[in-house]
Amino acid sequence: MRHFRWVILFIMTYTLSACATLSPQFEQPQVNITSFTLAPQSTASTPTFLVGLKVINPNRSALPLKGMSYSVEVDGYRILSGAEPDLPRVAGYGTEEFTIRAVPDLIGGAKLISQLMSNNKDSFDYRFKARLDVGSLLPFIDIEEAGTFSLKNPSSPR
Q: Could you tell me the mean pLDDT of each successive run of 10 residues in the chain, 158 residues long? A: 63 57 71 86 75 91 91 92 91 94 89 85 88 80 87 60
Looking at the structure of the chain, the number of domains it has is 1
CB distance 87 to 36 below 8 Å: no
**Three-state DSSP state, 93:** coil
Is residue 158 in a domain? no
**What is the model's pLDDT at position 67?**
92
Is residue 157 in a domain? no
**What is the model's pLDDT at position 68?**
93
Is residue 146 in a domain? yes
**What is the model's pLDDT at position 18?**
46
**What is the model's pLDDT at position 37?**
87
Q: Which of 141, 129, 45, 139 is nearest to 79 (CA)?
A: 129
* CATH code of the domain containing 83: 2.60.40.1820
List strand residue ranges (DSSP E) for 24-94, in order. Answer: 30-38, 49-56, 63-64, 67-74, 77-85, 89-90
**φ/ψ (deg, to 5) at 54:** -125, 125
Is residue 20 in a domain? no
**What is the model's pLDDT at position 20?**
46
Is residue 98 in a domain? yes
Is residue 100 in a domain? yes
**Three-state DSSP state, 108:** helix
Cα–Cα distances (Å) from 110 to 44, 78, 79, 99, 145, in that order, read 20, 10, 9, 26, 23
